[in-house]
Structure 1
Amino acid sequence: MLSYIELLSARQHTRYFKETRGHYIYRRTRVIALILALLQSVWILVDQMLLPVDVQSQVAMTRLLSSVAFIALVCWTHRPYSEHLALLRVVMIILIMLLFHSVSAAILILHGHEYTVAGYQFFPYMIVTMLAVFPLTLLNVLSLTLLVAAVEVVTQLVRGQFGQVQAVDSLWLLLVLAVVAGWAAVNQLNMLLGLYRQATRDALTSLANRRLVLEQLDTEIGRLQESKSKLSVLLFDLDKFKGFNDNYGHAAGDIVLKEFARILIKVARKKVDLPARFGGEEFLMLLPDMNSVEASRVAEQIIAACHATQVRIPSGEKVGFTTSIGVAQWQPGEDHSHLIGRADAALYEAKANGRDRYEVAD
């Protein structure tokens, strides 16, 4: 169930959803920037028919400069999964549009054509409605709306219109459009959160599924190749789980799986580590910025938590469970298959040495 807090601010989002949303916004900003670049350039021809001759060249130059800025934004492909940079790209689109609006309005005012040229007064409304294109939080929408409204207020002050009926109507219309666009943006975020969880969560345990954990492992490895950070993984297998299902039934087995998932969530660092159900009774946990020694301490915590836990199964009995763990630290040059393979070899060794323990891969 989605929380309203998650729609208010991105603070409650996991780093993995933040990367997903960042890449989603990144793709959309590039498309929007390309469309705006083309429109700004093509609209010069329209201005030749509509604008007075004495302002055509100046407005055309303003359009060309904004078009170049949009093209630069399209070409800016650095860190496409960064949520912060994605939001910065949205801000830059809005700032470019606001700057074009302010400069073109100033040109028209200086030449006495402010009220003889239609269309340019509608730019603030067009800009604020663009918020509906992106999956934004309520705080994002509020911040961007205040930015557009502030520019509009300054423009009205320069014109000497602030406080007049027409100016108040303009601000009121701007806020109404912002509410509608904001609702659409937050609705997009709500839909993206829902689809993300359906596609990436295990239905039984609510942990990340195999697909997500492998994708994120690849992302982490790609990040490690550009930095000197660390990464370790823990691969778990619930001990003698097949026999447990045979003795107590699959309903009891599901209870154990869910309880073990709760242990992983409790031990994991919030918004940093990623526990996942890897398949059947196998689980995998990503531990960014941890070496094998630190990861081994996490493994010890999980083993101790299993020892301290008993679950009540449908028959009414209370039963315990244990896990074997393989620990592996990423080594330069290896892909996720090799890393997990080493963790799996360590897990096999833990089982061979009596289970209910961990082993560290070479």
Structure 2
Amino acid sequence: MYPLQELFSAGSHTRYFQHTRSYYIFRRVRIIALLLAILQSAWILVDQWLLPANVQWPIAIARMISSLFFLGIFFWQTRPYSRRLALLRLLLLFTGLTAFHAFSSALLLIHGYDQSVAGYQFFPFMIISMMAIFPLVIIEVLGLTLLLTSAELVTQLTRGVLGDVNSINNVWLLLVLAIVAAWATVNQLNMLLVLHRQATRDALTGLANRRLILEQLDSDMETCRENSLPLAVLLFDLDKFKGFNDTYGHAAGDIVLKQFASILRKHTRKKLDLAGRFGGEEFLMILPGMDKEAAIQVATAIGESCRQTSVAVPSGEKVGFTTSIGIAVLKPHENQSDLIRRADEALYSAKDAGRDRYEVA
């Protein structure tokens, strides 16, 4: 179970989990929007059977308009990893349903059929129950609940029934359903957090694994190019690590890997940089927005931290360790493989030059 802060506000999530959650919401919104577009159009045939003749066509037109609206959401595929756009799509989905319900309720009320048409009075409860489909934080659930409850109160006020027993029961049921949906959606978010960590974190060091590093590097390269920003990567290799394992044992090597991971964490900017284990004793750090000079400063600070650090190994000895670093800054039109290859070449240059140093590609 994650801390309440992780479940209460998206601001406490890492940028990388926000991308994952945003894409998850994006996919589900598209699926629901497509289903709603189909159902809204198909339900016109049901309305021909249920609705009085004088309101069939206005509601049919409203259903067609809402179907086109939901199709628009389905075909809107811009920036699927953006949290703001994911929440905007979700808000538009709920707003479209609420707007259709408000219009159809007002039309039925005007023609005196407010309570005599089956299905329409249950619309608010269906809408609020749909929150359970999405992995939302508590503050987002509260915002949607406030929006939908306010719409129901306005509808009751328009009908002139605000405050009577049935209306109070409806609001009470709406809130109960909101609590149930909130419990389901927050548990879904918690599960997504757990699965995301298991799928993207190195079990030993707790840093990002190779999969997340490569996925995030692609995303950061695209973002930096769109905003005309530099991007640097640092590729690390712990010096003579195989010999260290042979001398002190693999348990001691694991202690060094964990300590080095701790050093990398201290030198990453929160919600900007990403450090991960690239494989064995190799680590990669992504520095979006940093040019060569800034990357050199980071590499220098990390190298110095390693020199000043010693770890206690199982034999009782205290030993130090150093790292060699390859630095590469993204070139225009360069792909991910070429960027990492240049960083790797710079790393081997640093090792050939005596280790415990950095080289720039």
Encode CA deviations 1:84-143: one digit per residue, 9 max, x unaligned: 111111100000000000000000011111011121111110000000111111111111
Distance between the aligned counterparts of 2:8 and 2:314, measured in 1? 40
Q: Which residue of 2 aligns with 1:269?
A: 269
Shift of 1:310: 1.2
1:29 is matched by which residue type in structure 2?
A: V
Q: Which residue of 2 aligns with 1:307?
A: 307
Shift of 1:219: 1.6
Q: Which residue of 1 aligns with 2:123?
A: 123
Give the number of equivalent residue pairs. Answer: 361
- Map 1:173-252 to 2 at 5 A: 173-252=173-252
Encode CA deviations 1:301-354: one digit per residue, 9 max, x unaligned: 111111221111111111111111011000011111110111111111111111
Q: Which residue of 2 aligns with 1:254?
A: 254
1:241 is matched by which residue type in structure 2?
A: F
- Map 1:78-227 to 2 at 5 A: 78-227=78-227
Distance between the aligned counterparts of 1:356 and 1:330, measured in 2? 24
Shift of 1:257: 0.2
1:224 is matched by which residue type in structure 2?
A: C
Shift of 1:356: 1.0
1:58 is matched by which residue type in structure 2?
A: P
Unaligned runs of 5+ in 2: none
Unaligned runs of 5+ in 1: none
Deviates more, 1:300-309 or 1:93-102: 300-309
1:95 is matched by which residue type in structure 2?
A: T
Q: Which residue of 1 aligns with 2:63?
A: 63
Secondary structure of residue in 1 paired with 2:229? coil
- TM-score if structure 1 supplies the norm length? 0.98
Q: Which residue of 2 aligns with 1:341?
A: 341
The answer to whether the Cα contact below 8 Å between 2:237 and 2:283 also exists between their aligned partners in 1 is yes
Secondary structure of residue in 2 paired with 1:283? strand
Secondary structure of residue in 2 paired with 1:127? helix
Shift of 1:41: 0.2
The answer to whether the Cα contact below 8 Å between 2:322 and 2:356 also exists between their aligned partners in 1 is yes
Encode CA deviations 1:4-57: one digit per residue, 9 max, x unaligned: 211111111111111111111111100000000000000001000000011111
Q: Which residue of 2 aligns with 1:31?
A: 31
Shift of 1:267: 0.8
Distance between the aligned counterparts of 1:332 and 1:223, measured in 2? 13
Q: What fraction of aligned residue pairs are identical, expressed as a percent? A: 61
2:335 is matched by which residue type in structure 1?
A: D
Shift of 1:225: 3.8
- TM-score if structure 2 supplies the norm length? 0.98
Secondary structure of residue in 2 paired with 1:163? coil
Q: Note if 1:353 corresponds to 2:339.
A: no
The answer to whether the Cα contact below 8 Å between 2:8 and 2:137 also exists between their aligned partners in 1 is yes
The answer to whether the Cα contact below 8 Å between 2:224 and 2:288 also exists between their aligned partners in 1 is no
Query: RMSD over aligned Cα, in angstroms?
Result: 0.9
